[in-house]
Amino acid sequence: MRTIHHILLATVFTAALNAQSPDLGGVKVSWERYTGSASFTATSLGKFELRVEVDRKGETQPLTLRIALPSTGRDAWPANIVEVRDSADQAMLVRRSGIEWDKLLIPLPQSVTSCVVQAVDPAGGWPQVTSEKDRVLQDAISGVSVRIANWPQGRTAALSIRFDDSHPTHLSKAIPILREYGFKGTFMVNPGPKEPGSRQNYSFETQHAEWEAVMKQGDMELANHSAHHRGAKGDEDMEREISGAAAAIWKLTPGKSKLTALNLGGGTMWETTRTLRYYLDKYHQFDASSGSLGMDDSYGGRVEAFRKALQTHLERGLWCRVHYHYIGEGLSSSEANFRSALDIAKQHQDKLWIAGMADIYKYQTERSSAKLTLVKSDANSLAFQLDCGTEATLYDQPLTLEFTLPESWRNRQVILQDSKREVVKPADSHLRFEVPPVSSAFVIQAMP
């Protein structure tokens, strides 16, 4: 009788928690594949902090907690900085899927009776973020206004085209076709080296010379899809999987920024005591695991889905991301469908910045930490300061400054100077200059 009573209670309690208890701010806690009598109590300790206490009730089989953090809306947790600690304040091993960092599986060692799930600020702190009005200057005296453009070259939105798993058809199909269109692709590679007993195909390793030639040409981007696409067991294994792939990519891009997109791959499990943010910061990676439209033909209607997605992103001025696997007849995406999507992108090319994922991420991050300040002005000139909060060795994508000039400046030449260079252009109602993303003082003036 006692046991039945407990099972009943545990079930009721778990069911209640699964129904998104408002006390837990949308966090869902449950057992992973377990229906016995052991129970748990989850309590919110504050914003992004939760304690789970476990009553094993004599249960001897291994128990695993499943915690789903809200990933959208007002209550969304910053999943990349979440860790779990036991009552002795030791970081616990947590398992997550490579592309769902908001879903945690926490295996509970016999000795653990409670744990705290919490978001921790990154060791290096948060990047500075300025406001939209910091990125605009409207000066009444000169009549000039300056803004840091939403996207480079006066484009309305951005598009990245990604290819996963370093498949041979990326070299034989995707890259030659992209070059026909003049588009840049981002290639998420698994650079190996081949592990004994593995059934993965290590085409990046076997076709290394070809990838090297692509990178020499400099019109494509590589990204980190982990060394082997197999997940990791433990901190050291995870560190090797990420750092190994990063190092292989950096070797093919000598002297270039090390900032690289990271996506740990669908269908992989990663077990670590650390936050994803730890690995991102340590290896100059940024998280590219979500928000992308899958373009495999098996999802159906991909060309139309792409047309719609692109339209929405153009209307909202946002970054549209899509990803492919293998290109060719009978493979994940047929060549005809691949070309149809590129044709759509081509139709919108005047409004679209089609670039690598790191290029786009850099521009966004640089812009969101930059600000403009007025220094002085008169009828024919404006001196202002551009301040950038990003590290210049990693963030090297030029920023676009957009000027609106007064009527009195029209039909004249305009000079933009900073301490290093000066550029002369004919005055245009919307004049654009690309400038390095570093803090500097500028003067814009109308020639007599």
Q: Which residues bind Zn ion (CB under 5 A)?
A: 164-165, 265
**Nearer Cβ to Zn ion (173/228):** 228
**Nearer Cβ to Zn ion (265/356):** 265
Tokens of 108: 């509970």
**Nearer Cβ to Zn ion (229/302):** 229
The dihedrals phi and psi of 299, each to the nearest 5 degrees, come to: -75, -20
Question: How wide is the angle at C-alpha 112 spanned by C-alphas 106 and 118, nearest 5°?
Answer: 50
Minimum CB separation of residue 201 from Zn ion in Å reads: 12
Minimum CB separation of residue 266 from Zn ion in Å reads: 6
- Give me the residues paired with residue 82 across strands: 119
Minimum CB separation of residue 328 from Zn ion in Å reads: 17
Minimum CB separation of residue 103 from Zn ion in Å reads: 18
Is residue 46 classed exposed, middle or buried when 0-12, 13-18 and 19+ CB atoms within 10 A define those classes? exposed
Minimum CB separation of residue 282 from Zn ion in Å reads: 22
Query: How many angstroms separate the most distant Cα atoms in the chain?
Result: 97
Locus of tokens 């390793």: 205
Q: Is the peptide bond before 193 cis (omega within 30 degrees of 0)?
A: yes
Fill in the DSSP letter of residue 128.
P
Residues 6+ apart with CB under 8 A from 282: 243
**Nearer Cβ to Zn ion (83/165):** 165
Residue type, 237: D
**Nearer Cβ to Zn ion (25/98):** 98
**Nearer Cβ to Zn ion (14/268):** 268
Minimum CB separation of residue 77 from Zn ion in Å reads: 25
The helix or strand, by DSSP H or E, that contains position 313, with its residue range, turns out to be helix 302-316
Tokens of 137: 């200057």
**Nearer Cβ to Zn ion (142/292):** 292
The angle that helices 335-347 and 302-316 make with each other, rounded to 10 degrees, is 20
**Nearer Cβ to Zn ion (83/164):** 164
DSSP 242-289: HHHHHHHHHHHSTTS---EEE---TT-EEEESS-HHHHHHHTTEEE-S
Minimum CB separation of residue 248 from Zn ion in Å reads: 16
Minimum CB separation of residue 440 from Zn ion in Å reads: 41
The Cα–Cα gap between 447 and 412 comes to 6
